[in-house]
Structure 1
Amino acid sequence: MSSNPSDANFGPHVGDISYANALDSTIPIENNPYIAKILNIIFGKIIYFIKLIFHLFFQRKFILHRLTGLSYLLQYFFAFYLYFKNYDSFKSSFLIWSLPLTGLLQATTAIYTFTFLSRTKRDAGYYSDRGTLSYPFIVENSFFASLLLFQWLYYSNKFYPFLTSSIIIDNLFVFLPYIPRQLWPKTSFRDSLYNSNKTKTDKNKKFFFIVTYITKWFYVWAKHYIGFFLNYIRFFNRVDPENIYHIYLLLLFGAFATTISIFLHTLKFKGYLGPKLSFMIYMVSYLATFYSFIQIRNEFIVNIDLTTYVFIGLLLNFTKYQHAYQIFLMILFNAHRNNMLPNDITKYLFLS
């Protein structure tokens, strides 16, 4: 999943050779020029695809990053297939830990590979149709990949007992991930609109202005309801197996939006995808998470206490009190889970 520019023109020149003539076939190709033309196109596309795969993943430059990216893509599509084909096999497979771990490794190799990228935090480079990604955006992506890894493991019955028994890991990722978040660089959606005349073409400026704001508000929602809410209901183990099934589909969409979205930018940068199409695919991947939320909508009702606590946190998101609020919830929720609160207080603060 390299973001370096292409160095070679390797497109297939279908007119240079007749692939149909290479076939030892009983089809009377000479008398069927349309069949010959179709076969030439098919073989040309196959050769183009093979060269494309080699160009993207097997060049020596950035080879570790390329191969890690290829491994991630293969695992992702296999996970998607297995999820729908045989969910029981999916949830007990190695993909539960290897897919998100490879995503984190992919983000890490990018940090050590693309050190030459711009260090600006004002324009991440993703929300435009010109230029490359910024280095802070690349580094920042590893933070979100680590959050995703935790949730994949947290919702696995194989890893859940270990994580809940580990007080530090459990509380750090469930309640306090955005305190160590300050160790990572932070790019801003608002700042990505800065200097739009240089970073966006006139024909796409309005498009990227709109989708940047849509993405910004989605991320606010995702931080609190894909992040905190899903962590809270799992913290109290209030999620039934049927809803965990839908949550894993949400995590598959999240894996696409976190890791494969960077690959989309590579394809856009190299000219294989248009800027609008690339971003629209990314938007579809993160908006698809709402399908899972529709399927688990009852969780918001039966856990109205946690839904309310998360909503308060969302309101405090842009204030200086958000970290203090999460620390307060960590203390309160741990006290409730360990039956340390008096019953007359518990009945007002929690449903169960």
Structure 2
Amino acid sequence: MSPSPPNANFGPRIDDISYVDALESSIPIGNGPHIGDLLNIIFVKIIYFIKLIFHLFFQRKFILHRLIGLLYLLQYFFAFYLFFKNYDLFKSSFLIWSLPLTGFVQSLTAIYTFTFLSRTKRDAGYYSDRGTLSYPFIVENSFFASILLFQWLYYSNKFYPLFTSSIIIDNLFVFLPYIARQLWPKTSFRDSLYNSDKNKTEKNKKFFFIVTHITKCFYIWAKHYIGFFLNYIRFFNRVDTEDIYHIYLLLLFGAFATTISMFLHTLKFKGYLGPKLSFMIYMVSYLATFYSFIQIRNTFIMNIDLTIYVFIGLLLNFTRYQHAYQIFLMVLFNAHRDNMLPNDIKKYLFSS
């Protein structure tokens, strides 16, 4: 749900009258409001909401991208409701595959819709209050949507056997996604600060400087512990039903941070959300994933071997050895899972 083109001039207005003016004109001047006046205010709000929905999702321009975005939002909020209302129904529902798949398809429609956006990789446009998203950032988002789709399916008992029986797909997504990552453009957090004088207002420059660094730290954590660690424990099937429950809640937050975050930028671009509020909602969505990690904290201790292997990978993250390390783990973990390691070696390398 990427932003509309830079020349789109749609704000929160009803015809030629702003929403605020429309409301003020309907508020009675007398001492107390009458029922008719209150109904008039409610009516104006309903009309405004209908026009808002129409302008966001049903305009002819970019209609495919808009409709898929609406479909994603409807599925997301239904999934969130169903997760807490009836988890057993949630985990066996179509939402397990349709929600992340729709998010991935949405990222693809964005790629083919917003080809007119800037091609610069230095300024992604998301970490500012003035800039629009860059095209490389739009393309890059499809990578994260794809690995999120994999995890949703990987933690489903319905799809898990299909992946374990497919050696290539299993190993590609568990160990080698960031080798395939090189096929996508890469934007940099550091470079997003490069153009701060132009893409950030003076009053928000410090705010975006701080939150960009916080997001960068989270991204490194997420890459290794939401990504690799959760993949590793599922690879060895060292998770129980309670773990999977909390991990699916984490994936719901991850879906928000990956796909709905793009919609937040649209709302910011069109003036419905302020730049700080938009980014704070995004931050809350990804920081909420720590709730699930707190709930499964014992998993880190019970799988101390994998916790250490992931930590080593984190330390190697900014070196040229990170990909070689993942290939090494792929060979080692497959040998362990297939009982190909001698017991006197296995006991030193794995806790179970």
Counterpart CA distance in 2 for 1:192 and 1:281 is 20
Counterpart CA distance in 2 for 1:201 and 1:216 is 21
User: 1:25: which partner in 2?
Assistant: none
User: 1:62: which partner in 2?
Assistant: 62
Q: What is the letter of the counterpart of residue 348 of structure 1?
A: Y
Q: Secondary structure at the match of 1:179?
A: helix
What is the TM-score when the length of structure 1 is the normalising length?
A: 0.94
Instruction: Describe the superposition over 1:89-131 as per-residue Cα deviations: whole angstroms up to 9, x where unpaired.
Output: 0000000000000000000000000000000000000000002
Counterpart CA distance in 2 for 1:85 and 1:264 is 26
> Shift of the alpha carbon at 1:195?
1.9
User: 2:228: which partner in 1?
Assistant: 228
User: 1:290: which partner in 2?
Assistant: 290
2:9 counterpart of 1:7: yes
Instruction: Describe the superposition over 1:237-287 as per-residue Cα deviations: whole angstroms up to 9, x where unpaired.
Output: 000000100000000000000000000000000000000000000000000
Please give the root-mean-square deviation of Cα atoms over the aligned residues, in Å: 1.7
Unaligned runs of 5+ in 2: none
Instruction: Describe the superposition over 1:154-213 as per-residue Cα deviations: whole angstroms up to 9, x where unpaired.
Output: 000000000111000000000000001000000000000002100100000000000000
Counterpart CA distance in 2 for 1:118 and 1:32 is 53
Aligned length, in residue pairs? 343
2:106 counterpart of 1:106: yes
User: 1:213: which partner in 2?
Assistant: 213
Counterpart CA distance in 2 for 1:61 and 1:302 is 53
> Shift of the alpha carbon at 1:18?
6.5
Tell me: higher relative CO, structure 1 or 2? Use CA pairs within 8 A at least 6 residues apart. 2
Counterpart CA distance in 2 for 1:279 and 1:134 is 17
User: 1:89: which partner in 2?
Assistant: 89
Instruction: Describe the superposition over 1:323-351 as per-residue Cα deviations: whole angstroms up to 9, x where unpaired.
Output: 00000000000000000000000000001
> Shift of the alpha carbon at 1:288?
0.1
- Contact kept, 8 Å, 1:2 with 1:66, in 2: the verdict is no
Counterpart CA distance in 1 for 2:2 and 2:305 is 45
Q: What is the letter of the counterpart of residue 213 of structure 1?
A: H
Q: What is the letter of the counterpart of residue 49 of structure 1?
A: F
Unaligned runs of 5+ in 1: 21-29
- Contact kept, 8 Å, 2:27 with 2:37, in 1: the verdict is no
What is the TM-score when the length of structure 2 is the normalising length?
A: 0.94
> Shift of the alpha carbon at 1:43?
1.5
Quickly say closer, same or farther: Cα 1:120–1:349, change in 2 above 3 A: same
- Contact kept, 8 Å, 2:2 with 2:138, in 1: the verdict is no
Counterpart CA distance in 2 for 1:19 and 1:201 is 35
Instruction: Describe the superposition over 1:210-245 as per-residue Cα deviations: whole angstroms up to 9, x where unpaired.
Output: 000000000000000000000000000000000100
* Percent pairwise identity: 85
> Shift of the alpha carbon at 1:16?
9.9
Quickly say closer, same or farther: Cα 1:288–1:8, change in 2 above 3 A: closer
> Shift of the alpha carbon at 1:38?
2.4
Matches within 5 A, 1:249-328: 249-328=249-328
Counterpart CA distance in 2 for 1:15 and 1:192 is 39
Counterpart CA distance in 2 for 1:309 and 1:225 is 11
